[in-house]
Each structure stands twice: as structure tokens, then as C-alpha cells.
Amino acid sequence: MKTMIAMLLACALAPALLAGNTLTGKECPNFSATRFINPPADGRTSFEDCKGEVILVKLWGTHCGPCLRSMPEVQALWEKFEGKGLHIFMVERQNSSEADIQKVYDSKGLTFPQVLEGDMGGFPGVGTIPYAYVIGVDGKVIFENNTGYGAVIEREIEKIKYLGLGKNDVAPGLEKAATSFAKKDYAAAREEAQRAKDKEGAGEDVVADADYIIGRVDAVIANLRKRIDAAKAERRYHEAIALLGELSGKEFKGMEAAATAADELKELKKDRAVKEELKAWDALAKTLEANEKAKSAADKKKNLEAFIKKYEGAAAAGDAQKQLESLGAEE
């Protein structure tokens, strides 16, 4: 299957753009991604989600030697700054299949996100790849070029004051709420922001920033809730349980959303059908581990077929079927 990134993207081999079309110094084009290899663990998949932190959008191709040689640098940045304010959106520009992209990721041990579907069309490149854009904490494109983005990212990361909040300055009296948010103490952040907002004589700037912080806390909860519901719908119960554990944890202590998540988690763990699905996912993990040591594609197929037959009807069997079909496509 060919990658389905919105075809606002220009062809990687198109004629070079005029220098006047540079994005540097301009507001970052709005973008969003809906499907990935290595989806962002924090669920932040758009410019709006990542605003106020550092974003790397890199155009590359599976048949581009310089692109492949640059991957270790991107991986090193990811290992250093994942969860610390860096968001990566890789965009393959040679119309390679998902399987071919996955091969590159597997062979090089890459763990950063690769966009497979979405609207990334605001980044046209200059006709050659690799090409990178860095978006700074102010939401503007601060760098674009083939190389040299690593040092720019290192410097820009240092400017982040309130990690995850989306802004580095708040009205006086809201610093504590913003700091709590950056520490992922979302219950305290919301409570402190509400207190500042309700304080007699609170100015318009305080009310506006308090509402902003409260809105960001609510957005974090809504994002977790969305991911939980998606995982449950697809019967990815290990993921659902982990996310429910997060939402019911100390970061949200005392909040209604946390209490609801705790009750839901309790019921999920007791459900017999869920237990069977979890058992199937665990068995699939062992099957895939065995396939890593298999001597031939035929042996891998045999292992997957046996798994599918044993766990017919389970979500993990459907995933195994896709992998079996992928093996057949590679022959």
C-alpha cells in the first residue's frame, strides 16, 4: 500500500522553488497527521498539539542515500529530547510503500515517528532531499536546510519554560499553575489556575491565562480519553489498560476523570473477554519473537498461520493476518 499523505505535497524531484518561497521567519503551516510508524507516545499529532515546543519536519526518501545516512542523527536527537520538548514528523517523499519505509526503520532501529497519512502539504521543500524544517517555541519556522538542524534544535529546546503548556509566558500569579502543568501535576495546575481566576480583582490577563491553562489540562484529559476509546474499540487492551492507569494516576488525583478511569480500569481487568484478548496479544508477541529467529520466510508464515488458527476471532489474529499478507507481498 502506498503512503497516503495528502497530495498537497510536491514531488521530491520537482523543480527547485524560488528562494522567495522560503518558510523561514514565517508562521508554521498548519499540519496534522493521522497515521504513523512509531506513533507519538504523547498522542500529539498536529501543529496545534505541539505549539510552544520544538518541531522537526524532515522530508526524505527510501532510495535517497544522503537521507539514509542522516537517519542516525535524527535518532540521536530523538533519544536525547523525546518527551523533553522535541516533536518529529518524518515525511517520505518518493512515494515508497509502507512496507519499504518499515524496512528502513527496522534495519536502522529507528524509533521516531514517520507520518503515513495526514496533511503535511505546507512543507514543499526545494526540489531535493533530505530537507528539514525546524519550528521554534514561538511557532515560527526558524530553520530550513538539508543539514545543520541538530544544533538549532539543541539551542531552541533550552528556551522551553513550561513543557507541554504551549506558551512560555503567563500572567503574574499563574507561574505556579504553569509550573505544575510542566511537571504533569495536572490536578494541581487546574486547581491553581481556577483559584487565580476566582480571586477578587483578577485582571483580564489573569483570567485569560487561567482559562488557557484549564483548557490545556482538559485537552490532555480529552486526548487520553480519545486514545483509550480508540484502543478499546480496536481491542488493543494492553494499551487501553496502560492509558487508563495513566489517567487514574497521581497526575490527575482528585479529578472526576481520574475516578471514572479507575472504575473503568477495574471493570476492564475483570472482563473475561478482555483477558482472552490480552492472552492472544501476549501469544502474538511470542510468535513474532520466534519469527525473528526463524531461518526462512516459510517458517515465519507457518508460525503466523498456526497463531491465526489458534486465536481466530481475536484482534491479535487480525494483526497477524496483516503481517502474513505483508510477508507474501515481499516474495
pLDDT tens, per residue, the chain with 331 residues: 444 443 333 333 333 333 457 999 999 999 999 999 999 998 899 999 999 999 999 999 999 999 999 999 999 999 999 999 999 999 999 999 998 999 999 999 999 999 999 999 999 988 899 999 999 999 999 999 999 999 999 999 999 999 999 988 999 999 999 999 999 999 999 999 999 999 999 999 999 999 999 999 999 999 999 999 999 999 999 999 999 999 999 999 999 999 999 999 999 999 999 999 999 999 999 999 999 898 899 999 999 999 999 999 999 999 999 889 887 766 5
In terms of domains, do 97 and 201 share one? no
Task: Return the pLDDT at 329.
Answer: 62
Contact yes or no for 105/38 (Cβ under 8 A): yes
Q: Give phi and psi for 9, each to the nearest 5.
A: -65, 135
Number of Cβ within a 10 Å radius of residue 109: 9
Q: What is the pTM of this model?
A: 0.82
Task: Return the pLDDT at 2.
Answer: 46
Task: Return the pLDDT at 275.
Answer: 97
Residue type, 127: G
Radius of gyration of the chain, Cα coordinates, nearest whole angstrom: 22
Task: Return the pLDDT at 308.
Answer: 97
With DSSP H G I counted as helix, E B as strand and the rest as coil, what are the percentages for the chain, rounded to 5? 55, 15, 35
Helix (H) or strand (E) holding 155: helix 149-157
Would 170 be classed as within a structural domain?
no
Would 39 be classed as within a structural domain?
yes
**Helices 315-330 and 272-293 sit at what angle, rounded to 10 degrees?**
20
Least Cα distance to 45 among 33, 53, 27 occurs for 33
Contact yes or no for 2/95 (Cβ under 8 A): yes
Query: Hey, which residues does 42 pair with through a beta bridge?
Result: none
For CA atoms 193, 196, 199, 203, give the dihedral sign.
negative
Number of domains in the chain: 3
In terms of domains, do 25 and 114 share one? yes
Last residue of a domain, one of 126, 157, 188: 157
In terms of domains, do 194 and 307 share one? no
In terms of domains, do 21 and 138 share one? yes
In terms of domains, do 282 and 261 share one? no
Contact yes or no for 89/57 (Cβ under 8 A): yes
DSSP 16: P
In terms of domains, do 33 and 109 share one? yes
Task: Return the pLDDT at 30.
Answer: 95
The domain containing residue 282 runs over which residues?
A: 275-330
Residue whose C-alpha cell reads 521516531 in the numeric block: 112
Task: Return the pLDDT at 330.
Answer: 61
